[in-house]
Amino acid sequence: MRESGVGSQGVNVIRSFEVSMSSKLLRIALLATVAAGTPALTQCTAQKPPPGPAPRSPAPESLKGVLRVDTVARGLEHPWGVAVLPDGRLLVTERSGRVRIVEQDGRLSKPLGGVPKVLAEGHGGLLDIALDPRFSDNPLVYLSYAEPGEDGLAGTAVARGRLGASGLENVRVIYRQQPKVKGSNHFGSRLVFARDGALFVTQGDRFDYRDQAQNLASGLGKIVRINSDGSVPRDNPFAGQTDARPEIWSYGHRNVQAAALHPETGQLWTVEHGARGGDELNHPEAGKNYGWPIITYGIDYSGAKIGEGSVKPGLEQPVYYWDPVIAPSGMVFYTGDAFPDWKGSVLIGSMQPGRLVRLTLQDGKVAREERYLGGLGKRIRDVQQGLKGELYLLTDEDEGQVLRVTPAAP
């Protein structure tokens, strides 16, 4: 981001010079430099969220007549994640534990073999899917899922395998959230590859264990960063510390089910579920604490207060928050040509009230929010961009669908 012109800091600089300098020529030179548009800030990736209360969504009404929606495929059982193959076909996960290929004509393949066993209860099951950045060379596919353990325990896990003729081959687990705990809620999880090839795994606090989001010895309520083989990058913020898990990237998260990499800055951006109110847009940075459950813009489902309020020194503020919530799931930065006015926008799936949410960013802040597809009445679980700039949405239901979204005819 580059910001030009004179902000309040620049004005203060000018005033101090005017008081302390008697030379008229120096004052003229300074003012001429400012008038020429000398940058007041240096190059940066994103503005730091303000220390005070974050901006709140105005909850705009859904726009009509903007988008065309076509059904590509039907009959998927709670589809959860979608990845676009280099040939335009789609890989889709079903929460019950299946992966299918969706042909370009909408035909569904038989369930692929090699998928790990999942805990398909509550929020659990087979979750996200991602292709290796070098997929054309190594055909590796990554899955996040709720992994069952002994004595009714479970936790988020990540496995990878090669996509072969009949399914996934040479599958192995490369990450397991620790500790495994009881319960079937708040597993996260989205998979996002960074530019350096590291893999971000978003997770949840497992619902009944919210306080562990602040415990660096626990993997609950954390975003982790691992190498593609499951090893831990040496430059992770807590690597080498005896009192923290080395895979942790950021902490203080409730349940992150939307994540994407900014196409220009390479920063990770996420949207996480609040409780009753308080869904958050963040760009999690290394080693930082995003506050849950000490601070939040939501309240408990019982109506009780959570934590200490919405602002506390040393804890990060969100870039933006929603109250009422949008129940966010799935996210992409749009870079295609089908919607030229949308380039750079953040697109987010909403499960409640069920929308496609578009955010326009300016200088690292939300400048505008628009909502679409309110008339569908569907829970949007994931959103991804196709090869020609079209969008693919998944609907979260027993008879789930893959939808193709393009601009409406003028």
For residue 123, indicate whether it is catalytic. Answer: no
Rounded CA-CA distance 163/132 in Å is 11
Q: What is the pLDDT along the chain (410 residues), one digit of tens a residue?
A: 333 333 333 333 333 333 333 333 333 333 333 333 333 333 344 556 556 799 999 999 999 999 999 999 999 999 999 999 999 999 999 999 999 999 999 999 999 999 999 999 999 999 999 999 999 999 999 999 999 999 999 999 999 999 999 899 999 999 999 999 999 999 999 999 999 999 999 999 999 999 999 999 999 999 999 999 999 999 999 999 999 999 999 999 999 999 999 999 999 999 999 999 999 999 999 999 999 999 999 999 999 999 999 999 999 999 999 999 999 999 999 999 999 999 999 999 999 999 999 999 999 999 999 999 999 999 999 999 999 999 999 999 999 999 999 999 98
The DSSP symbol for 4 reads -
Closest CA to 140 of 115, 114, 117, 168: 168
Domains of the chain from N-terminus onward: 1-44 (no CATH), 45-407 (2.120.10.30)
CB atoms within 10 A of CB 4: 10
Q: Amino acid identity of 341?
A: D
Give dist(CA 158, CA 192) in Å, integer. 12
Convert 83-113 into a string of H (helix), E (strand) and C (coil): EECCCCCEEEEECCCEEEEECCCCCECCCCE
**Cα–Cα nearest to 345, from 353, 355, 354, 356:** 356
Residue among 178, 241, 244, 238 nearest 216 (CA): 244
The Cα–Cα gap between 327 and 332 comes to 16
pLDDT for the residue numbered 49: 59
- Four-CA torsion 168, 151, 230, 287, nearest 10 degrees: 140
Grouping H, G, I as helix, E, B as strand and the rest as coil, residue 19 is helix
* Cβ-count burial 69-87 (b if 16+ within 10 Å, e if not): beebbeebbbbbbbbbbee
Chain-centre distance of CA 99, in angstroms?
Answer: 22
The active-site residue, picked from 186, 253, 273, 283, is 186
Confidence (pLDDT) at 48: 62
Q: Which residue has the tokens 């506390």?
A: 312
Whole-number Å distance between alpha carbons of 401 and 378: 10
* pLDDT at residue 23, rounded to an integer: 38
The reported pLDDT for the residue numbered 166 is: 87
CA torsion angle 310 180 143 74 (round to 10):
-80
Structural tokens at position 34: 């400012």
d(CA 30, CA 7): 15
Radius of gyration of the CA atoms of the chain, in A: 23
Question: Beta-strand (E) ranges in 221-277?
Answer: 222-226, 248-251, 256-261, 268-272
- The residues pairing with 380 across neighbouring beta strands, listed in sequence order, are 395
Closest CA relative to residue 391, chosen from 338, 341, 352:
338
Residue 131, judged by CB atoms within 10 A of its CB (0-12, 13-18, 19+), counts as buried
pLDDT for 31 equals 36
Would you say 357 and 368 are in contact if contact means Cβ atoms under 8 Å apart?
no
How much is the pLDDT for 410? 87
